Every structure is written in structure tokens, then in C-alpha cells.
Amino acid sequence: MTKVAVEGNDFLFKGRINVPADKSISHRAIIVSSFLTKVTKITNLLISEDVKSTINCFSQLGVEFKEINGDTYVKGTGIRNYLPPQNVLHCGNSGTTARLLSGILSGQNFSSQLDGDYSLRKRPMDRVKNPLEEMGAKISTTNGKLPINISPASLNGTEFNINLGSAQIKSAIIFAALTANSETKFRDKKKSRDHTEIMLSNCTENIRIENDAIYITPDPVVELGDIDVPNDPSSAAFFIVAGLINHDSELIFKNLCLNPMRIGFIRILQTMGADIEFMNLVEKSGEKTGDIVVKSSKLKSIQVVGESIPAIIDEIPILCLACSLAEGESMISGAKELRFKESDRIKTTVTELKKLGCDIEEMNDGMKIRGKEELKGALCESHGDHRIAMMIAIAGTKAIGRTIIKNSECVSISFPNFFESLKGFRKKIQS
Ligand code: S3P
């Protein structure tokens, strides 16, 4: 268990910041490559603990991985030819691995068992088990959670009309539908990130999107070129807020994934008065990408309600920090989903920001925050949650005195060199 200390007012956020590759797209790049027996080259694949969990699980299913000059080469098996796993498939801390894999494994002719770490074992799996069972899957959970057992089953194409706004459940159903025996129609009233649909639409005709409905036909015929993963806006979010709340900042972020369902927090920050400029917008394999420039800004409060939540779900802790230093009272509501993430993020965000002197109140489905001019350094705890650890560290750059983050190693889930990157912005001592 490691501890990291951050000194307040010791940073100047100027220059280029390299953030890691997108975690959601990296998981999907591995999964979709496994559908092909030809080798797929993935450039800029995120190698973080969560993505390593996906790599380890697919290795056990017979998929081969090789790293050459920083690129990852994946030799798949085809969606019907995975090897029966000899051991439990360990998903570590990764909810995306556990849920997407449940979809893929539900329609196989072998049994499998999925498990996860202490945090993942506390997260709900019913939400994915129930729709998969509607398709004919045979899944037994441990009180609705991991470990789960998946028995061989033949899946039926099914019609779903849901109102959930979860990309993990949607993706589990789409992947399961690719192993079914007839067409599946999926409609979710609430939008969620659409990387699965984008990546599949790029390489197979087995997915069709018409009037808000997704149609999936089984046995994907995949034509996949190289995959180039853009950088992760959810990781960038921490340095975006660092730049906004500290003086004299001018940060440049290159090659970010700017999928509209991923940059809701940038739009919200702009409404709060943030100086964030988009540049060099290009589309890469169906995903919008580009650069952004972020400058120090005076922020004002914001009200965020339910329908905006799926597009900012992973950025709410760091958005709360921005609200804590904005003028006026902010409110985030309709965000109960936060209670089911790597930690109960309503509770952990409120607890840790309070230690840092923020005026923040926990609500059942969100938080109320009254902005302040300054924070104070404190002894804080990550709760084993990468996004809470990074939020505390960025708060520490603006706090008076020293902030200590206990259990800081969890940043390796999504942003392995986060603290090295942060250290790179320490003010140089003048001689
Ligand atoms: C993810 C979807 C989101 C997000 C998670 C990654 C994905 O979860 O919170 O970090 O890659 O599909 P939900 O779809 O369950 O909200």
C-alpha cells in the first residue's frame, strides 16, 4: 500500500500532457480482435491493470498477444472457437471485463467461472445476468454478485426495450447476440457510450443501427484493419480540472477521444465558464478525435440532472472538485449509479472532499456543493478507487499545505504513470 504526498501551490500546468489511451476502447479492441483468426495490430493499446485483466482472460480463452515496438498484435480464435478456460477467469477490478465477458461467454458450449477482486465482488452482476437469461443464458451468481458460473447454453435472438443508460449492459447483450441463433433487436431509451457499436459497425455487417434501435445478427464476418486507440478523455479530465483551477495554466492534450458520449463533462465545464478550445478534429475508425487546449478559468456553479449523467458518469468525482472551487451552489442529481462503481463514489467523493475543506453534502442520488476560494491539505484515502485517488491529488495541487493520498497505487487501473505526469508539472526551483 503506497502513500503519495502532494504540496499545494507547487504546480504550473503549462505545456503538453500525455494522457493514456482510452480504457473503454482498449477493452473492445481486444474483444473484437478475438473474433478474427487473422492477426490484428492495435496501436496505442492502454496497458493498465484493467486492460491487463481483459488480456489475461482472453489469453485463457486461447487468444494470443504479442508486443512488438509498443504495438500489440492479437491473434484471435473466432467467436465460436475459444478454448474452454482451465481456471477461473479473474477480472481483477474491472467491471467492464466482467460484464462484457459474461455476454461473450453466455452462448458458448463450455462452462466458465468469473471472479474479481474485493471491490468488483461488491458490484452488481444481476443487471447483466437478467437480460442474458432472457436470451437463454444459464448464469448463477453469488447473491447477485461475483463469483459467477456460466454454463453452456444456446442463445435466442431477443428484443430488448430498456431504460438503463449502461454501456456495459448494452455491450454484453450485443456480444451475446453475436453468438445467438437469430437476430436481436436492442433499444435503450437512455443513451450510453457507443464504442461497441462504432467498432463493430466498422468491421462487420452483423450490426445495423436504425432509428435508435440496434439490430445484431449472429456469427460476425469481421473485416478488421489495424486499430489505433485514441487517448482517454476520462483520464484527461483530471488534468483538465488541474489546469482550470490553478493559475497561469495552458495545457495541450493531443489525440483525445472526443466521442460526444464521453465529453459531457467538457461541455458542462464550458457552461461553468471553462476556457477549453477544440482543435484538429478528425474522425478515426468512426470515433471523433482531436486536441484540446485548457487555460486557467474562473468557474461558476452548475446544476446537473439525470439525463446528462451517462455522458459524465466517470468524471463526476473530478467535476465535484471543480464545483468546490466555483462561485455559487452546484447540484448533481440523478446519479445513484455512482454508488455501484469501483467505490460508492457519492460517499467517497463527499468524504474525501470534506477532509480537504470543501462544503459538500451527500444526497441519495448525488451531491450539493457550495463553492469556496481555497482548500486545505489533508490526510486522504483513495478507498482503492483510481478516480478518487486522482481527484484527491488534483485537489492537493490547489490546497494550502500538504495532501497525502493513502492507497494511491490504484491509479494503475486506468492511468499507470499518473503521479509521474503530475510531478512533471512541479514548479522549477529558481536559482
Ligand atoms: C464503461 C461504461 C461505464 C463506465 C465504465 C466503463 C464501458 O459503465 O462507468 O467505467 O467501458 O463500457 P456503465 O455502462 O455500467 O455505466
- Tens of pLDDT along 349-386? 999 999 999 999 999 999 999 999 999 999 999 999 99
Residues of the chain short of pLDDT 70, as ranges, are: 429-431
Residue 429 has a pLDDT of: 61
- pTM more than 0.95: yes
* d(C-alpha 57, C-alpha 78), whole Å: 15
- Tens of pLDDT along 327-358? 999 999 999 999 999 999 999 999 999 999 99
**Catalytic annotation, residues:** 314
Instruction: Starting at the earlier edge strand, list the strands of the sheet with 184-188.
Output: 159-162, 184-188, 213-216, 207-210
Cβ–Cβ < 8 Å for 121, 106: no
Contact partners, residue 119, CB within 8 Å, separation at least 6? 93, 342, 343, 384, 385
* d(C-alpha 194, C-alpha 311), whole Å: 11
Binding site membership of 168 for ligand 1 (Cβ less than 6 Å): yes
Residue 1 has a pLDDT of: 81
Cβ–Cβ < 8 Å for 79, 179: yes
Neighbour tally for 363: CB within 10 Å:
14
Binding site membership of 314 for ligand 1 (Cβ less than 6 Å): yes
Residue 285 has a pLDDT of: 87
Residue 277 has a pLDDT of: 98
The residue whose CA has the least distance to atom 4 of ligand 1 is: 314
Binding site membership of 93 for ligand 1 (Cβ less than 6 Å): no
The mean pLDDT value of the chain amounts to 97
Binding site membership of 167 for ligand 1 (Cβ less than 6 Å): yes
Long-range contacts of 350-356 (CB under 8 A, 24+ apart): 350/320, 352/380, 352/381, 352/383, 352/388, 352/391, 352/392, 352/395, 353/320, 353/321, 353/324, 353/391, 353/395, 355/379, 355/380, 356/324, 356/380, 356/392, 356/395, 356/396, 356/399, 356/403
Ligand 1, pocket-test mutation among 25, 96, 123, most atoms within 8 A of CB: 96
Closest to 221 measured CA to CA, from 178, 259, 279 = 178
Ligand 1, pocket-test mutation among 99, 128, 162, 166, most atoms within 8 A of CB: 166
Binding site membership of 54 for ligand 1 (Cβ less than 6 Å): no
Joined grid coordinates for residue 181:
441463433
Q: Which atom of ligand 1 is nearest to the CA of 171?
A: 12
From ligand 1's centre to the CA of 166, what distance in Å? 7
Binding site membership of 353 for ligand 1 (Cβ less than 6 Å): no
Residue 431 has a pLDDT of: 46
